[in-house]
Structure 1
Amino acid sequence: MIVRLDHVGVATGDPQGAGDLLAALGLSLGESGNAETYGVSCDFWQAAKGGGAVELVAPLDEEAAISRRLADHGPGLYHVAFEVDDVAAELERLRGLGWVPVDREPQPGARPGMWVAFVYAKRPAGLLVELVEYRRTEPATDAS
């Protein structure tokens, strides 16, 4: 089940410049980290009263999928992320509704304890959605 809006992801090749833009809007840099599975650095910016964050997503190298996205479309809105209570279950639920899974299973995110999976709805919105679950420990793996 979706719990809340977690963040909005913005693709950028210039995280310093984009950070300056967010700072001018009054946001503050909260957390930063890398999502190695995706080859990206992530800076999470927050408003003073909280709420969902703005995540600046930048490639760590030219092989990252976001590098191709930046080359094809330039910087801008990349995804909308929702916190869910069970990322694997939500991934399966949306798959059953016709969403296209980008990830077969949840992957480590850029924040401690963060597990994510991306799904895509080409129609009617061309929307990339990140499902986010925060866990205290790593998920159990299937031993079979």
Structure 2
Amino acid sequence: MHDTPIRVDHVGIAVESVEAAEPVLQALGCEKLVDDTVEGRFRWVYYTLGGASRLELIEPVAEESFLTDFLDRNGPGLHHVTFEVADIDAVIDTLEGEDIAVVDYQEFDGWTEAFVSPGNPTGALFQLMEYHESYVEETGTPAESLFIDGRPVGE
């Protein structure tokens, strides 16, 4: 077992249209933090609720992608749960030590991420994210808005 701090960062919801779904989140009191597109593949819009809860709407932009496949199979709804981790490698080592598949490990300038395959006994897709110091600078969003309690987990 590891002793790495972990917390839920956000819940990702797959939608056909952010514009159609956003009024639901606004009616619940969510505030939009980020609205961005990833390499012409999908749009992600990040919201906060009450300062400590976060939701993400993800909408396909490309004609065919992991997201269009997901929506074709399942329709709109819960796509993933993201955990912020202080040491992604320690968490991955623990998961793999329990024969739990971790896939799509990638390093970016602002964060490192990997996914726990939904083939695990929970059936849920978990995203693991370790933020790098440059993340706040890259997004241009104040740390108190991006992180629960205004700082990365473990600080």
Q: What's the TM-score bracket when you normalise by the shorter of the two chains?
A: 0.7 to 0.9
**Residue in 2 aligned with 1:26?**
29
**Residue in 2 aligned with 1:39?**
41
Give 3-state SS (helix, strand or coil) of 1:20's partner. Answer: helix
> Would you tell me which structure has more helix in proportion to its own residues?
2
**Residue in 2 aligned with 1:142?**
none
Mapped to 2, the partners of 1:90 and 1:62 lie a distance apart of 34
Q: 5+ residue gaps in structure 1?
A: 139-144
- Identity across the alignment (%): 33
TM-score norm. by structure 1 comes to 0.80
Mapped to 2, the partners of 1:125 and 1:9 lie a distance apart of 16
From 8, 11, 16, the equivalent of 2:14 is: 11
TM-score norm. by structure 2 comes to 0.75
**Residue in 2 aligned with 1:120?**
117
Mapped to 2, the partners of 1:117 and 1:135 lie a distance apart of 14
Mapped to 2, the partners of 1:45 and 1:137 lie a distance apart of 21
Q: 5+ residue gaps in structure 2?
A: 136-155
Contact 2:101 2:120 in 1 (8 A): no
Mapped to 2, the partners of 1:50 and 1:18 lie a distance apart of 21
Contact 2:100 2:120 in 1 (8 A): no
Mapped to 1, the partners of 2:130 and 2:55 lie a distance apart of 17
After TM superposition, list the pairs within 5 Å mapping 1:57-72 onto structure 2: 57-72=58-73
